[in-house]
Structure 1
């Protein structure tokens, strides 16, 4: 009889939040490893051989109830960026979730530096993988930059749009922003920016396949986040081979590497503008970015994530 694993993610079905995408990808891998799986928003209360929970704060109740009902059944906690870089300081539930967990998964190695030392023995780094996607030919008439992610404060969603104001007049950079506005104010701001900047277009929420089409034909992708556990869209850009211009935060450094040549200070739209101009006008710099991205491609291989999940789960279940 197949072992049953329940995966809990607070991200609702049909959303494109990173937590939901991670849960569904783990479900596919676990099915390949011959486990029976269910994805829920909170623990169903039904018996299962193990619980995998994304988000130490928002899944705390599920972890707590499961451990009280099945104290000897393992819990795997997959920690998110908000867990590690925001809630760990202020919400005791995150630490309690880490105590109850039998294993803790982080999505890039830099996150380890922010976790309490007492939990380090439980921690495993499992990089997020991406199915092979062919890179499309970027447009010839302009230099296409994309920024992908729901518009919410953690993403610093308008730093990239603001950087357009500092570009040289002869620049051919165009910025396409994809992602749902998570507040009416953000929606209003995106619409206002479209009216004032001919270089900027906000496409709102698109399906995953269409989003990848835009990414695969971009000259560069921008990730402007203030905090990230390890953004899946960065892994997608690496897998496709699209150079990334990234805010200088641990979550980006953990995926792109300490020596990656295109970090800018968080929130600094002028520094981002200079880096975009360099990518557009300096072929040697652009080639350097392309090579640095190609060097990281190995961490996004599905076989690596499958092997890592197999080793973790088989050791616990």
Structure 2
């Protein structure tokens, strides 16, 4: 099959959706399909489309359905779709979900956020992690913590800094890896860096270097208000690095209900307390490492590939109209 994977962002963007689109392209090619990740324009001649981000790729997915009414459209719902746009009843999000043959989420916890009328056509395809060759970086001093996320409000990137204020006497090193999307975020990142010599904002670190940071810090941090399933969490798991994560649906789905490394969302005191435990309680850090290693099998490329192949088969069965050539 000729399969398009529509990304809401340019394919050379460091954003998670672009990385995901290229990963799916690679998996489907390895499975024997002619897969192409695309952004902005709709090539002719496709047999199916996988669209990432209901709202932002709606014009492209709508064009695909108009041109190919009998061909499968699979919609990969992001955290923004599920936990913001759907709740706000944004028309493009709702229309995209209505026209799709299959709705996909990256972990089971997100299924409960899909409206009842779409449950029958909803599936879980667990995202796998395919790591490139890591690039060496100087090992950070220990103990160290890294928040790997672009500076966007939904990522709550400065919760780490608010937590550090409550740990002023504790020797540690903290880093944020990710670009700022507006001037206000840049100013705030510089302000926090000036206040606390333990903190450094590294801006947009190249992906192989960011992975090397993840592999070497004591723990990574995911402080998001909402999340469908962050690539950085999966990368931490595969690299064996504990994650300190806000207890939200997307993180629960990736790390498991019984994971010990959760903190209360948007609560700097809760994050500060768990950072302190990691530093002062070796047995707690060891528990997190054991739990992280136990999750690694969930991120197998073979499992993800089979998930997409099953979705393509199911979408054809749910929508058996003649494709028309």
TM-score normalised to structure 2 length: 0.92
* C-alpha displacement of 1:152: 0.5
Cα distance in 1 for partners of 2:72, 2:132 equals 35
Whether 1:9 and 2:3 are equivalent positions in the alignment is no
* Structure 2 unmatched ranges of 5 or more: 317-325
Whether 1:227 and 2:202 are equivalent positions in the alignment is no
Q: Check whether the contact 2:137–2:213 (CA below 8 A) recurs between aligned residues.
A: no
Match of 2:29 among 28, 31, 45: 31
* C-alpha displacement of 1:305: 1.1
Q: Check whether the contact 2:58–2:92 (CA below 8 A) recurs between aligned residues.
A: yes
1:290-312: CA deviation from partner (whole Å, max 9, x where unpaired): 11111111111212112222222
Q: Which residue of 2 aligns with 1:146?
A: 146
Cα distance in 2 for partners of 1:305, 1:227 equals 23
How many residue pairs are counted as aligned between the two chains? 314
SS of structure 2 residue aligned to 1:63? helix
Q: Which residue of 2 aligns with 1:88?
A: 86
Q: Which residue of 2 aligns with 1:59?
A: 57
Match of 1:74 among 72, 75, 98: 72
Q: Check whether the contact 2:167–2:272 (CA below 8 A) recurs between aligned residues.
A: yes
- Report the more deviating stretch, 263-272 or 307-316: 307-316
TM-score normalised to structure 1 length: 0.94
* C-alpha displacement of 1:141: 4.9
Cα distance in 2 for partners of 1:260, 1:275 equals 13
Alignment of 1:119-134 (within 5 A): 119-131=118-130
Q: Which residue of 2 aligns with 1:184?
A: 183
* Structure 1 unmatched ranges of 5 or more: none
Q: Which residue of 1 aligns with 2:239?
A: 240
- Report the more deviating stretch, 10-19 or 201-210: 10-19
SS of structure 2 residue aligned to 1:113? helix
SS of structure 1 residue aligned to 2:241? coil
Q: Which residue of 2 aligns with 1:253?
A: 252
Cα distance in 2 for partners of 1:128, 1:155 equals 19
Cα distance in 2 for partners of 1:41, 1:11 equals 6
Cα distance in 1 for partners of 2:47, 2:141 equals 56
1:63-121: CA deviation from partner (whole Å, max 9, x where unpaired): 21211221101101000010000001220221221111111110111111111011111
- Report the more deviating stretch, 134-143 or 81-90: 134-143
* C-alpha displacement of 1:40: 1.6
* C-alpha displacement of 1:315: 4.3
Cα distance in 2 for partners of 1:60, 1:49 equals 18
Structure 1 residues 8, 296: closer, same or farther in 2, change over 3 A?
A: same
Question: Please, what is the CA RMSD of the aligned residues?
Answer: 2.0
1:228-286: CA deviation from partner (whole Å, max 9, x where unpaired): 11001101011111011001110111101111112111111111011101001101111
Structure 1 residues 181, 140: closer, same or farther in 2, change over 3 A?
A: closer
Whether 1:194 and 2:203 are equivalent positions in the alignment is no
Structure 1 residues 220, 138: closer, same or farther in 2, change over 3 A?
A: farther
Structure 1 residues 224, 140: closer, same or farther in 2, change over 3 A?
A: closer
Q: Which residue of 2 aligns with 1:44?
A: 42
Q: Check whether the contact 1:138–1:144 (CA below 8 A) recurs between aligned residues.
A: no
